[in-house]
Structure 1
């Protein structure tokens, strides 16, 4: 492939060689969503690292005591700020199930008027981490305390968001395109809000 050719939907890397870890990732996708996600082809090059990464993500979420809605707010806000279409579509849909399509779409665009004060504080923190982590202030942290989080939870929640940003960065940098079925499953308002990132994949991968 020359640099002028359009890369495959699965990204810029050549297909990963066969391995038990790669096949495990693909099998989990087929079981959970019915096809192999393009980002899984990226992570198939490092399946053990993927598993360890997901374990750490789960530990951070549990230590922070995050509810499903809180995780959806954090991921949608950070993914929207970062410009990651994969997590914006997937978690925008999940957030829409919690707060409604229009509110979820607004969070992706950086607008929190439809959220509770506590959820809006989480969204602001997530965006700051994605855009300017050196710009955080003691007042920002105090707003998180005011939401009922103690300092250990704030540290764990920050780790959770940072890991989500890292996950998005790997997927985006290595060229994985948003899966067509991921786009089609998103509410229309969420889909419209995701005007960034790489174009939608032409089809779904099965292997």
Structure 2
């Protein structure tokens, strides 16, 4: 399930597991990794939430950002999880389009957001002022551009930890994802 052994039991570990049980009905493999430092998990997700809220990022926009980022990284875990979330916020074909890079069903502004997430993930040093200007032209102000960029960078950090430490997507996560999302995710573990 992961490359790490079980962490020592404790209240913060149990709290992380209990949250999974309440939300999903099972303890996620990635939680078994983050249980080695639950406070880091909580701090990361508190920051992600603050950035998303401050930037006014809707669930659909967050799904586009994470789907584009995770698929660019080759992270099957977050691709499945957020592909399913995006499928709920939009529909399964839109989610599959983001994961495969076709961006079918996205608005022009959403396509700009997906392209930005892929650029930031693939090679942040290759982005240009023209790329940022494309986001402005799509209707994003500098505050929202900062939020989207920071959100992608933090999600990339989360995915990197999970992937490097061998988190395999949970069987239930895969089973619960819409068929279009499952079929789109052909990378990762």
TM class by shorter chain equals over 0.9
Gaps of 5+ in 1: 1-8, 199-207
The Cα of 1:96 is off from its aligned counterpart by 1.6
Report the equivalent of 2:53: 62
- Report the alpha carbon displacement of residue 118 of structure 1 after superposing the two structures with TM: 0.4
Match of 1:91 in 2: 82
Does 1:46 pair with 2:71? no
Q: Quick check: 96-105 or 63-72, which moved more?
A: 96-105
Which stretch has the larger CA shift, 89-98 or 56-65? 89-98
Q: CA deviation at 1:101?
A: 1.6
Normalising to structure 2: TM-score of the pair? 0.96
Structure 2 stretches of 5 or more lacking a match?
none
SS of the residue 2:21 aligns to? helix
Q: What secondary structure is seen at the aligned counterpart in 1 of 2:6?
A: coil
The structure with more radius of gyration = 1
Hey, which of these two has a bigger chunk of helix by percent? 2
Per the TM alignment, residue 135 of structure 1 is displaced from its structure 2 partner at its CA by 1.2
TM-superposed deviation, 1:181: 0.5
CA distance in 2, matches of 1:186, 1:69: 16
How high is the TM-score relative to the length of structure 1? 0.88
SS in 1 for 2:167: coil
Task: State the 4+ residue runs in structure 1 displaced beyond 4 angstroms.
Answer: none
Matched, 1:106 2:97: yes
1:72-124 CA-to-partner distances (Å, cap 9, x unmatched) read 11111111111111111111112122332222112101111321100000000
Match of 1:166 among 135, 157, 168: 157
What residue is the counterpart of 1:132 in the other structure?
123
Q: Does structure 1 residue 23 correspond to structure 2 residue 19?
A: no
Q: Hey, what does 1:144 align to over in structure 2?
A: 135
Which stretch of the first structure deviates more once superposed, 173-182 or 131-140?
131-140
Residue 166 of structure 2 is matched in structure 1 by 175
Superposed CA RMSD:
1.0
Aligned to 2:69: 78
